Structure 1
Amino acid sequence: MGKSKNKKFKRPQFSADGLPVSLVKEEDVEESEPAVESPAAELLDKLQSPNADVREYACASISRMVQQSQVIPSFLQRDAVRCLGPLLLDRSLAVRETAAGALRNLSACGGFEVCEDMVKQDVLTPLTALLQEVKDSSGLQWHTVEGVANEAVNLLWNLCWASGCAAAVSGATVSQRRAGCICWSVSVSHTHFFPGAELMMLDSGVSLCAAHCLHAVTEENSELLGGLQPSVLRLLESVLMDNQSGMANLQLRTLIAGAVWNLKGSLPADRQAQTLSAVVATLAQAVELDSGLVILELHAAETARLRATADGVHEEATEVMEQEEPEEGDGEMTNGRAAKRDNDVSDLLPATDAELREATALLAAQQTSLEIIVNMCCSDDPSDDEWEEMSSSDESEMCPDSMSEGGSCLLSPLCLSAEVHSALLNHSIPEKVLRKTEFPSSAAVEVCNKSLAWKCLIKKMQRVQCRALTCLHNILSSMEVEALGGATALQTLAEHLSKLVFGMPEVSKQEEFLDAATSALRSLLQIMASRSIPQCISPQQLMGLSEAATRCDMVSVRVNALAILGITGSTLARERNSVDSLQLIGNALLEVATRDPNMVVCGEALDALFDVFADGKEAEQAAQNIRLLPALKALQPVFKAKLRKEGKGKYSQDQLCVLDNIRINLRRFIGYLESLDRSASA
């Protein structure tokens, strides 16, 4: 049976909706604006104007327009990047800021290809020169360059997030290597630009943005990490230890924890254990918070604040009205003015949304923390990708070279170092992750549903749950059963996951959730089967899961469901009176193997069939009842022809290796069934 691969998150990775909204300059976003013909040439010409106001206007106009994806090509065709790049060093700070904003929105709305094209057009040279100037500015000058820094660091974050440019360009040219190093240096410096509490100021957003950028730029970037100075690590550790209150601080520290984890290979040997413990402690602090309860408290605080503010405004309006002495004949006007003050105070209410930002920061911190834990529980093997890239019936047989290249085995806890293993257990990470796999608080969801501004948090809460399920998948795959609480704990966990997968059909239709939940359940059932621990999933539930999976567009979900069918079926085959259940499973697997358009899914269905009907009297009887042998004989030439026809153009080398192995196993399995048939006839 195919082994469930650990999953690994990389930057860029996590936003099912594309680039985060925060990477676009929010005040300029007008999503509902209709498409317009882009006057790209005229605006780009204005960038060359000797008048700074005209240049600023042109940059601001471009910044707004490129948020409509259909107009981006017209700007790119006219070398917008090369036109805007020099303005990052314009003598006018306002022009610098708007030019950086235009490039920022272009990078965010244009996607990965546009970001890569921007790097190729050497936008890093003026950008890093600008960042170097910002870095060299003294604290007294900060208020004059704050807007420029915010846009510039956001642009750098976008480029790192979308294209991994800092790593990609580091080996290209001397100037680009220097640009990458300056990016690194600026990212580090801005995570600690201010002393003390001012570090966490989000009015500028530079510290948090720089931390995001640092998290991205440190990932798998050996050239930049080669010159790491001890002072940098000490600086990052000081931020990590700065345990101030507030969710913004927590979000900042989780990002720094991610950067420190990325730098683990550069840590001095005598500080590794201490630093690792600080990293895991930060992640544990974020994960253990009850986000539903915090959201309810913050929402209540916002409601009370707004009510108090409104009451204060009403009192002020009443006092003003009482002090005014209406003149003869002006009573109607005065009463009208007083009535407006009494009924419309929206323009007098504060625009702050501090509570909502706190809630958003908490969920972002929890998501980031869970992503980091996922990577902690994952081998560094680059082949540890999504399952659909590496399904197999027996990986140890399919490609002898795979193990020498670093292939990992599901049940090998050795992929975790003793230090990481101990740190995760010491901070109760498995238990805390398990609690985050629960569905979001219904009370918090209800409150958020009633507020348009807070409604966006529902999706963020659901995403945290999905990350926790993926995290649980990797924890199960990398820790010994005893460390997780033994057989009883696993059975309790199986019941919990079964309720998640089978108990909430409306949520289970969401592909992201279904992928994460089935991956975790699959890992758990594999472990339980290997230890002969009784399972708790009924055949009826399995059929429901199989039905839902066949309607899902995600290959990984269909593969997970088939693997779960195979695991459960192979366990049932060893039990008495299981023929009927085995027939249900066998027919479902045959249906998928015959009809699914994706060969990886077909291969997984065949793989599961091999496991279910490999041995046992119950399996033999069920195989005869569903006429498994003639069905597989009919399928064999079709599978072989399809593999030859579609293979090289549609599937990766790893997938082809797996599929070819399944083709060989199919021939062998047919031979095995024929031998059983001959024995029965004799």
Structure 2
Amino acid sequence: MGKSKTNKFRRPQFNAEGLSVTAVKEMEPDHGEVFDGVDSPTGELLEKLQSPSADVREFACASISRVVQQSQTIPGFLQRDAVRRLGPLMLDRSLAVRETATGALRNLSACGGHEVCDDMVKQDVMTPLTALLREVRPSLVNHSLTLMYLWVWPCCEKVVFSHFEQHVSCESSSQALSVFNKAGILDVILQCLERHTHNIKLALSAAHCLHTVTEDNAELLCSMNNAVLGTLESVLLSSQADMSHTLLRTLAAGSVWNLKSSLPTAHQAQTLTALMATLSQCLELDAGTLIPQLRQVEVARSATASEAGNMEDHQATKIDKDFSDLLPRGKEELREATALLTAQQTSLEIIVNMCCSDDPSDDEWEEASSSDESEMCPDGLSEGNTSLLSPLCLSAEVHAALINHNIPEKVLKKTQFPSSEAMDVCRHNPTWKILIKKMHRVQYRALTCLHNMLSTMDAESLGGAAALQAVAQHLSTLVFSPPALSQHVSWMTHCLCLCLCVCCQCMTPQQMMSLSEAATCCDVVSVRVNALAILGITGSTLAKENGTAETLQMIGNALLQVATKDANLVVCGEALDALFDVFADGDEAERAAENINLLSALKALQPVFKAKIRKEGKGKYSPEQLCVLDNVKVNLRRFIGYLETVVKK
């Protein structure tokens, strides 16, 4: 298939979007204080952080942790140096103060966005954090302190936007990575991962951190050794079936992929197999079925728990001291569902990067390929440039592994809308509504993943022409279904780009015209423009084949219809550009152009198009759009001249 630019995801990362955060012990404020957003007594709480009483300091930290869940309160805390005041309390002589201070800082970072996180790094949150890590490293007995990783690394990230959807996709800041590398925190992470069979929350926290810091961290790569890779492989080969362990294995797989240049050649095939099996098993799970089941379990458990009365209250007090995540206490089933969707999103993003066919000169790979290949890392693991896991292309080994584990088929299934049953469960429960965006996010990642597969794998690898026709039909259905039309415009545009990858080789004329008809009736300009581009590229491909004149006539008539009647000049210009592509060359194109009287039609259209640009252009269109329209106008004149030459032959 034709080469096209593929998408590459940065690290999939955890965030607090839409989550209800109760990461600290709930403490009702006394003295009649009310914490209601912008009216919160910020200054008074910060003053209490300096109290000689540990109970008062703990109360202040817990209250701040609750208040900052309302994002409008965060600027007030930052303006009063809340980070500099909370940071030292992570080293407080009172363990309870340490825990609540850690929770307050984590909630501040998670609920405040990337600008707040950057500000926290600038306010030197890493200094007390590193000191605390050194203190807890020897034994890791108090794992609740080590669980701070879950909030630490959002403090060290910046937001990157994909081309079709704004999403948080994180890249560690150089300052935070430097602190991480120099402080020897990798040893702590490995100790946490090694305890995954006994403490999954601790291991997950460490896995999130490792997945974050292993990408584009050349200094850390040279610290890798067989012990590190062995720990990751042991996680990949674990057999626990719950969703938390599924997420743990997926994060480990992502870290292994990030570390691929450090893998010994002798172990690469085995590691790749374990990695791909992890991704395959994760994608095999049907979230549409599991989410309703988990919700039913939660309902049954809640009914049982309500009968326990005081026992439940006693247990809740213990749960509140656990800073393992940002979900409400006692929501184990919701936590499982969230872990499942996060694992599937992460799996798809790893596969996206596996199928990334960027040229060696592109961005990050340029730096990697120009590095000193002779530099050796510990244990002699520097053999990446001849690796079967080369990032510069889809290697035969990776290609075979994708096919052997039925990854293309599983990715295609994830592009379908979440089941109506799962959507209903989430819509009708306030706490579970957070999963709706997560389900759609899995779907978006699957579409990008499918796009990269279509760009880097041939038709036979994806099931042949018949399978690709089914893909094209499926994508067309997604694009033009009413729910998508009203809610997911950017995603529809991306679907059309995916159709573009398959239609040139496999779409039937009926499919193509159905796509065209649906697209030209769409109210969204970007959808109409992309559909016309698809017709143009499809037609130009068909023009090089024999016996296609009849199909070219259908395409030509459809494009002329749009160019003549569409109210938007940008759409008209795209239709004309597509006509130029379709009828630029070839005997079949010449025959089709003659049959539809293309020359006469364009001569009649030319003055009308020019007049519309003069009359409507400056008032309705941007300078960039007008520039494009002027180019179309010039090309129209030249193309008419070309057709006149053809007629005279």
Q: What is the TM-score of this pair, normalised by structure 2?
A: 0.76
Q: Give deviations 1:595-614, integer Å, cap 9, x for gaps.
A: 45xxxx99966654532343
Tell me which residue corresponds to 1:588. Answer: 562
Partner residue in 1 for 2:210: 214
Please report how far the alpha carbon of residue 238 of structure 1 lies from its aligned counterpart in structure 2 after TM superposition: 0.7
Q: Does 1:148 align with 2:145?
A: yes
1:559, distance to aligned residue in structure 2 (A)? 5.8
Taking the TM superposition and a 5 Å limit, the aligned residue runs for 1:346-495 are 352-380=330-358, 415-495=393-473
The one-letter code matched in structure 1 to 2:601 is N
Which of 221, 226, 231 is equivalent to 1:230? 226
Aligned partner of 1:127 in structure 2 is 129
The one-letter code sitting in structure 1 at the alignment partner of 2:130 is T
Q: Distance in 1 between matches of 2:315 and 2:53?
A: 38
Residue 250 to residue 62, structure 1, CA distance change in 2 (3 Å):
same
When residues 624 and 67 of structure 1 are mapped into structure 2, their CA distance, relative to the original with a 3 A threshold, is: farther
Is 2:278 the counterpart of 1:278?
no
The answer (yes or no) to whether the contact 1:236–1:256 under 8 Å persists in 2 is: yes
> Displacement of 1:493 after TM fit?
2.1
* Structure 1 residue 185, shift from structure 2 partner: 1.0
Structure 1 residue 441: Cα displacement: 2.6
Note the alpha carbon deviations across 1:43-91, whole angstroms, 9 max, x for none: 3333233332232222223222323333322222232222222222222
Measure the CA separation in 1 of the matches of 2:438 and 2:135. 37
> Is the CA contact (8 Å cut-off) linking 2:294 and 2:334 kept in structure 1?
yes
The 8 Å contact of residues 592 and 605 in structure 1, kept in 2 or not, is answered as no
| SS across alignment from 2:522 | helix
Match of 2:484 in 1: 507
Q: Which residue of 2 aligns with 1:337?
A: none
Q: Name the structure 2 match of 1:520.
A: 498
How far apart are 1:489 and its partner, in Å? 1.9
Q: Residue type of the partner of 2:511?
A: I
- Select the residue among 534, 537, 542 that pairs with 2:511: 537
1:521, distance to aligned residue in structure 2 (A): 1.7
Change (3 A) 1:25 1:635: farther
The unaligned stretches of length 5 or more in structure 1 are 171-175, 317-340, 386-412, 652-658
Q: Which amino acid aligns with 2:536?
A: G
Letter in 1 for 2:229: L
Please give the per-residue CA displacement for 1:616-654, whole angstroms capped at 9, x wherever unaligned: 243463464254544666689999999x9956xxx9xxx
Counterpart CA distance in 2 for 1:485 and 1:593 is 41
Structure-2 separation of matches of 1:592 and 1:564: 17
Paired amino acid for 1:207? A
**Amino acid paired to 1:263:** L
Q: Give the CA deviation at 1:252.
A: 0.9
Q: Deviation per CA, 1:512-544: give whole Å up to 9, x if none.
A: 54244323222222454xxxx635425354243
Letter of the aligned partner of 1:219 in structure 2? E
Matches within 5 A, 1:110-189: 110-136=112-138, 138=139, 142=141, 145-150=142-147, 152-162=148-158, 166-169=172-175, 177-182=178-183, 185=186, 188-189=189-190
The answer to whether 1:251 aligns with 2:247 is yes
Residue 284 (structure 1) shift: 0.2
1:612 to 572, 582, 607: 582
**Contact in 1 for aligned 2:236/2:274 (Cα 8 Å):** yes
CA-to-partner distance for each residue in 1:384-431, whole Å, 9 max, x for gaps? 89xxxxxxxxxxxxxxxxxxxxxxxxxxx9820122111111111112
Residue 279 of structure 1: CA displacement?
A: 0.7
The alpha carbon displacement at 1:456 in A equals 4.0
1:395 corresponds in structure 2 to none
AA in 1 matched with 2:180: A
Per-residue deviation, residues 542-592 of structure 1 (Å, max 9, x unmatched): 2432443625xxx6x666444324334546775327546534334536888
Q: CA–CA distance in 2 between the matches of 1:592 and 1:62? A: 56
Distance in 1 (CA, whole Å) between partners of 2:45 and 2:314 is 37
Instruction: Give the deviation of 1:469 after TM superposition.
Output: 2.0
1:240 corresponds in structure 2 to 236
> Partner residue of 1:673?
640
- Describe the shift of the 1:229–1:438 C-alpha distance in structure 2 as closer, same or farther (beyond 3 A): same
Q: How high is the TM-score relative to the length of structure 1? A: 0.73
Aligned with 1:474: secondary structure? helix
Name the stretch that deviates more: 53-62 or 241-250. Answer: 53-62
Relative to structure 1, is the Cα distance of residues 606 and 638 closer, same or farther in structure 2, using a 3 angstrom cutoff?
Answer: farther
In 2, the alpha carbon distance for the partners of 1:578 and 1:192 equals 60
| Cα 1:666/1:50, change in 2 over 3 Å | farther
The equivalent residue for 1:400 is: none
1: CA distance between counterparts of 2:447 and 2:83?
41
Task: Measure how far apart 1:107 and its partner are.
Answer: 1.4
Deviations 1:200-224 (A, max 9, x none): 2xxxx33212212221222222222
Q: How far apart, in 1, do the equivalents of 2:551 and 2:532 lie?
A: 22
Residues 473-529 of structure 1 deviation map (CA, whole Å, 9 limit, x = unaligned): 111111011211222222222222223323x3123433254244323222222454x
**Equivalent position amino acid for 2:243 in 1:** M
- Secondary structure of the corresponding residue to residue 128 of structure 2: helix
Amino acid at match of 1:248: S
Q: CA deviation at 1:680?
A: 5.0
Q: Distance in 2 between matches of 1:645 and 1:307?
A: 60
Q: Shift of the alpha carbon at 1:275?
A: 0.8
CA distance in structure 1 between the partners assigned to 2:194 and 2:528 by the alignment:
48
Whether contact under 8 Å (1:629, 1:674) holds in the other structure is: no
Query: Which aligned pairs between 1:328-343 and structure 2 lie closer than 5 A?
Result: none
> After the TM superposition, which of the residue ranges 246-255 and 62-71 deviates more from structure 2?
62-71
The one-letter code matched in structure 2 to 1:379 is S
| Separation of aligned partners in 2, 1:80 and 1:236 | 37
8 Å CA contact 1:470–1:519 kept in 2: the answer is no
Match of 2:379 in 1: none
Match of 1:95 in 2: 97
Q: What secondary structure is seen at the aligned counterpart in 1 of 2:511?
A: coil
Change (3 A) 1:635 1:569: farther
Q: Name 1:21's counterpart in structure 2.
A: 19
Change (3 A) 1:66 1:590: farther
8 Å CA contact 2:283–2:344 kept in 1: the answer is yes
CA–CA separation in structure 1 for the residues paired with 2:338 and 2:562: 43
Match of 2:326 in 1: none
Q: Is the contact between residue 126 and residue 179 of structure 2 (CA under 8 Å) also seen in structure 1?
A: no
Aligned length: 581
Residues 111 and 162 in structure 1, CA contact (< 8 A), matched pair in contact too: no
Is 1:267 paired with 2:263? yes
Provide the identity percentage. Answer: 50
Aligned mates of 2:22, 2:360 — CA distance in 1: 31
Q: Which sits farther off after the overlay, 250-259 or 96-105?
A: 96-105
CA distance in 1, matches of 2:564, 2:360: 33
Match of 1:548 among 516, 522, 535: 522
1:589 and 1:608 in contact (8 A); partners too = no
Q: Which segments of 5 or more consecutive residues in structure 2 lack a partner in the other structure?
A: 29-33, 160-169, 317-328, 364-390
1:295 aligned partner, one-letter code: I
Q: Are residues 645 and 362 of structure 1, via their aligned partners in 2, closer, same or farther at CA, if it must alter by over 3 Å?
A: closer
Contact 2:214/2:255 (<8 A) preserved: yes
* Alpha carbons 1:593, 1:603 under 8 Å: kept: no
* CA distance in structure 1 between the partners assigned to 2:438 and 2:531 by the alignment: 25
Other structure's SS at 1:480 match: coil
How many angstroms apart in 1 are the aligned matches of 2:622 and 2:515?
A: 36
Q: Are 1:9 and 2:9 counterparts?
A: yes
Secondary structure of the 1:244 match is coil
Whether the aligned pair in 1 keeps the contact of 2:153 and 2:172 (CA below 8 Å) is: no
Aligned to 1:404: none
Moved more, 486-495 or 628-637: 628-637
